[in-house]
């Protein structure tokens, strides 16, 4: 049985405001917070809300650090669909988080070395305090697709056709996502002191129900979160629909 706490809102906008307020509170209480950050369509409105809270309240990220969950392998630097570019556009350029402490797992020439270096960098900061997570329709977290080991560390992962299809709209017309990405492993994610999972829209209802109502199963990577003691799920009613009595 999951220990996760659910906060359910009537719309994605209210979810975004609530997540932004929560993160703002965490950073206010501990300016040196180590944030684990996520990308995806779900998080566009969350960063927008967090940037707004930061501007309105003078919240500073100057002492914070961040580690993103994942990044495609092989996209040219500055590619419009890279997660680095996403983060710059939606968050980094709007806040005072120092650039040298806003990291993504970039593969470079030696992906294996990059994976170990990323793990070491997280450990050197004392671990992730709060990890933000979205969820894929097939239950993936980060780019840990179904079948990924629950104790996996940062690694190069192959994307499933359904994830490639879901993310194709982020790419310019005629382009598709690369087949591989570098991602924190599920074990890396579970090491975070607290986890905030965000799900909005009916397309996520089935994945959310499988993650938290069904027994833990490597076929649903997000179900690994059932073993974590501090998970809060922020979702809208549409995503929560499968969690009801009929699920």
Q: Which of 167, 188, 223, 226 binds ligand GLP (CB under 6 A)?
A: 167
**Alpha-carbon distance 245 to 148, whole Å?**
29
Among residue numbers 142 through 161, which ones bind ligand GLP (CB under 6 A)? 142-143
Strands 231-236 and 194-199, bridge-based pairing? parallel
Select 167 or 223, whichever has its Cβ closest to ligand GLP.
167
Q: Which of 27, 35, 69, 235 binds ligand GLP (CB under 6 A)?
A: 69
Following DSSP, what letter does each residue of 111-133 receive, concatenated? HHHHHHHHHHHHHHTTS-SEEEE
Looking at the DSSP assignment, which residues form a beta bridge with residue 157? 181
Determine whether 167 is an active site residue. Answer: no
Active-site residue, from 71, 129, 138, 167: 138
User: Minimal distance in Å, beta carbon 25 to ligand GLP?
Assistant: 23
Q: Does 79 bind ligand GLP (CB under 6 A)?
A: no
Residue 22: how many other CB atoms lie within 10 Å: 18
Task: Report how far residue 119's alpha carbon sits from residue 153's, in angstroms, rounded to the nearest whole number.
Answer: 8
Q: Among residues 22, 70, 71, 90, which one is catalytic?
A: 70
Here the tokens at position 38 are: 């996520």
Choose the stretch contacting ligand GLP; rule: CB under 6 A; options: 90-98, 118-126, 133-141, 233-241.
Answer: 133-141
Residues in contact with ligand GLP by CB under 6 A are 38-42, 69-70, 134-136, 142-143, 163, 167
């Amino acid at each position: 049985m999951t220990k996760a706490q659910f906060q359910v809102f009537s719309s994605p906008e209210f979810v975004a405001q609530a997540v932004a307020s929560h993160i703002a509170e965490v950073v206010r209480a501990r300016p040196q917070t180590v944030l684990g950050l996520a990308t995806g369509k779900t998080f566009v409105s969350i960063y927008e809300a967090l940037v707004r809270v930061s501007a309105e309240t003078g919240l500073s990220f100057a002492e914070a650090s961040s580690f993103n969950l994942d990044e495609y392998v092989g996209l040219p630097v500055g590619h419009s669909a890279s997660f680095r570019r996403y983060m710059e556009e939606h968050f980094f350029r709007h806040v005072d988080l120092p650039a040298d402490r806003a990291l993504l797992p970039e593969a470079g020439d030696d992906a294996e070395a990059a994976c170990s270096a990323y793990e070491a960098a997280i450990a050197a900061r004392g671990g992730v305090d709060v990890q933000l997570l979205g969820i894929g329709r097939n239950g993936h977290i980060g780019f840990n697709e179904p079948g990924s080991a629950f104790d996996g560390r940062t690694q190069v992962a192959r994307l499933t056709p359904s994830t490639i299809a879901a993310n194709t709209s982020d790419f310019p017309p005629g382009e598709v996502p690369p087949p591989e990405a570098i991602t924190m492993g599920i074990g890396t994610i579970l090491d975070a002191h607290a986890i905030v999972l965000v799900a909005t829209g009916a397309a996520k209802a089935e994945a959310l129900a499988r993650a938290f109502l069904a027994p833990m199963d490597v076929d649903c990577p997000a179900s690994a979160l059932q073993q974590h003691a501090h998970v809060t799920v922020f979702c809208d009613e549409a995503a929560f629909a499968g969690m009801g009595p009929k699920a």
